[in-house]
Amino acid sequence: MEYRSRGLRRRGDSDKWQVILSHKDPLSGEWVPSYHTIEAKTEKKAEKARDALILDLERKGSSYTSKLTVQEFLDMFVQYKEDGMQVERSTIDHYRKQARVVKRYLGSYRLAELSIPLVSGWMAQMVDEGYAPRSVSKPFGVLRQAMRYAQALDLITKNPCEYCKPPKIRRKKMQVLDREGRTRMLQLARAAEPSPLALAIEIALTTGMRRGEICGLRWSDIGDCEVTVNRAISLDRGTPYEKDPKTEGSRRTIPLTKRLYAVLRAIEKDRQYVSRELGVPFGDPFVLGTPDPDSRPYHPTRLTKDFKAFCDMNGFSLTFHDLRHTFATMMIAGGTDVRTVASYLGHANVAMTLNTYAEVDPDAKRAAVGKIGDAFDMDLDGVFAEELEEPAFTMSFTVEQLRSMLAEAERREADNAGA
């Protein structure tokens, strides 16, 4: 940040001098005056002290008289992100929500006052108040981004968030349905079709699609016994809107079960018939939304609430997103290779699938033992049992012999290391 001298005058007969400087506010672009006091016996020494002050201020990159608060700057940061249009509207909405949390605790402080103890104390206070680690980490992440932006604008010289650690998030055990649970849920869903919730459950259980992708399905996305993910429904301040899939890999085609495909086609024909009878164009409405030409999608938040009510009524304990986890673990347990599962899920790479679903159904682990035996033209268990019953030979050593062997092995290892 550049500072310019606007005046230098002695205060009476003392050795104190008033320095008037100005700097350009990087946010507004206006020149802002600031007033400082230095000590010097002569005017020449006062000029040197003034120049040293300017260098120090420019090095620190902030004005001592700056009154910009954390709340004001966070509002500017969110607006900057929104104006840049480089992130999704749903991400901007996330920034707003988390910024409100930060402002509740730190908003009244001046930006220049933000320090490591202050940030760490704020997070500790949230933990003491009963907030989960993830609920603390999210607003901290937004504050850290905002402070990086402030540092880039030379409003602060050091980002205190870079030296603070949010509470550790413990990875929760993934909630998935076992075979019996999957079957029971699917039976209940099919009994309630063609309701939007019932269709959403069957689609999620048999394709692994995300909530927003299911809500964003249009009839044109249904092909010949397959579905193509072309869009998703996300939220901006609670209002749904269409957006592109999460990543390029998320734009994918997934096979449908014959039964689900037949149900969807039957529903489509029924709605086309109703449109013809009413004399209105069918268009390309959302599969789970309203059937009119200006179709409104099944609201993702509504879907979440409806599914929770469904689970409470039927004795299930999981979220709608857990149906995606259930599908993935079901596929892996059934022997589907990880690359295929990754393509179903729309993961950017196989590593993401492996990291997420490293722990599969315990039944799959037990079944894997049987597959090892299938790889040999012999009964591994039988051979092993026979060897236990009739060992070919026995071997025993004294304690001294074992110690001698260990010493010899250590000597050889030392010789090899030296070589």
Of 72, 2, 67, 14, which is closest to residue 39 (Cα–Cα)?
14
Q: Is the pLDDT of residue 185 over 90?
A: yes
Q: Are 40 and 183 contained in the same domain?
A: no
All residues at 6 or more sequence positions from 106 whose CB lies less than 8 Å from its CB, including other chains: 70, 114, 118, 119, 122, 143
What is the pLDDT at residue 268? 93
Q: Are 53 and 75 contained in the same domain?
A: no
Q: Are 89 and 46 contained in the same domain?
A: no
What is the pLDDT at residue 65? 41
Q: Is the pLDDT of residue 287 over 90?
A: yes
Q: Average pLDDT, whole number, for the chain?
A: 83
| pLDDT top residue among 112 and 404 | 112
Cβ contact 56:48 at 8 Å: no
Segment 108-122 mean pLDDT? 92
Cβ contact 253:223 at 8 Å: yes
Domain end marker among 313, 329, 356? 356
Segment 386-400 mean pLDDT? 53
The CATH number of the domain holding residue 159 is 1.10.150.130
What is the pLDDT at residue 374? 61
Q: Are 30 and 115 contained in the same domain?
A: no
Q: Are 238 and 263 contained in the same domain?
A: yes
Segment 252-266 mean pLDDT? 91
Q: Are 207 and 82 contained in the same domain?
A: no
- Does any domain span residue 363? no
Three-state SS for 374-419 is HCCCCCHHHHHHHHHHCCCCCCCCCHHHHHHHHHHHHHHHHHHHHC
Q: Which of 181-185, 213-217, 301-305, 370-374 has the lowest mean pLDDT?
A: 370-374
- Does any domain span residue 401? no
Q: Residue 127: which domain range?
A: 70-163
Q: Are 41 and 92 contained in the same domain?
A: no
Q: Is the pLDDT of residue 375 over 70?
A: no
In this prediction, residue 3 has a pLDDT band, given cuts at 50, 70 and 90, of: confident
Segment 267-296 mean pLDDT? 90
Asked whether the CA dihedral 57, 58, 59, 65 is positive or negative, the reply is: positive
Q: Are 158 and 88 contained in the same domain?
A: yes
- Does any domain span residue 408? no
Domain end marker among 332, 356, 380? 356
Per residue in 119-174, pLDDT (tens digit) is 999 999 999 999 999 999 999 999 999 999 988 887 888 899 999 999 988 777 77
Q: Is the pLDDT of residue 355 over 70?
A: no
Q: Is the pLDDT of residue 344 over 60?
A: yes
| pLDDT top residue among 395 and 145 | 145
- Does any domain span residue 48? yes
Q: Are 347 and 221 contained in the same domain?
A: yes
Segment 389-406 mean pLDDT? 59
Segment 104-131 mean pLDDT? 92
Q: Are 122 and 212 contained in the same domain?
A: no
- Does any domain span residue 411? no
| pLDDT top residue among 166 and 397 | 166
- Does any domain span residue 248? yes
The CATH number of the domain holding residue 253 is 1.10.443.10
Q: Is the pLDDT of residue 189 over 50?
A: yes
What is the pLDDT at residue 205? 92
| pLDDT top residue among 29 and 97 | 97
- Does any domain span residue 397? no
What is the pLDDT at residue 380? 47
Per residue in 315-336, pLDDT (tens digit) is 999 999 999 988 888 888 777 7
Q: Are 199 and 154 contained in the same domain?
A: no
- Does any domain span residue 240? yes
Three-state SS for 47-86 is HHHHHHHHHHHHHHCCCCCCCCEHHHHHHHHHHHHHHHCC
Q: Which of 137-141, 356-360, 401-405 has the lowest mean pLDDT?
A: 356-360
CA distances from 72 to 42, 69, 100, 198 (A): 42, 5, 11, 46
- How far apart are alpha carbons 79 and 77 in whole angstroms? 5
In this prediction, residue 337 has a pLDDT band, given cuts at 50, 70 and 90, of: confident
- Structural domains counted in the chain: 3
**69 has which bridge partners?**
110
Q: Are 30 and 116 contained in the same domain?
A: no
The H or E element that residue 233 is part of is strand 232-236
Domain end marker among 137, 163, 189? 163
Per residue in 207-253, pLDDT (tens digit) is 999 999 999 999 999 999 999 999 999 888 888 988 887 766 678 88
Residues of the chain with pLDDT > 70, as a percent, come to 82
